[in-house]
Amino acid sequence: MNQTITLPQSMLKRLDKISEGSHIKPEAIIKQAISDRLDYEEWLLEQVDAGLAELKAGKGIPHEEFLKRIGVSQNARKKAA
């Protein structure tokens, strides 16, 4: 299934510059970039689901406890806000 996308001119210029410098076809660069992003998004969703499952199983800690463990005091949080 082939699809067409429209890219801004500034992005096309960047793509051409990388393609010329690396001697890799623009299409290959785009495919790799999309593949890398999809891999990352799939990994991120897996991590979120795993974290939610841990919370549901009672493995989480309250936010205030987390802050204590990493050494952030309540006063420091108020000053930052």
Angle between helices 26-56 and 9-22 (to 10 degrees): 110
| Residue 74: predicted pLDDT | 66
* Angstrom distances, CA of residue 59 to CA of 18, 24, 34, 44, 69: 46, 47, 35, 20, 15
| Residue 80: predicted pLDDT | 66
| Residue 37: predicted pLDDT | 99
Q: Please list the pLDDT of the chain residue by residue as tens digits (81 residues).
A: 889 999 999 999 999 999 999 999 999 999 999 999 999 999 999 999 999 999 999 999 989 999 999 998 766 666 666
| Residue 77: predicted pLDDT | 60
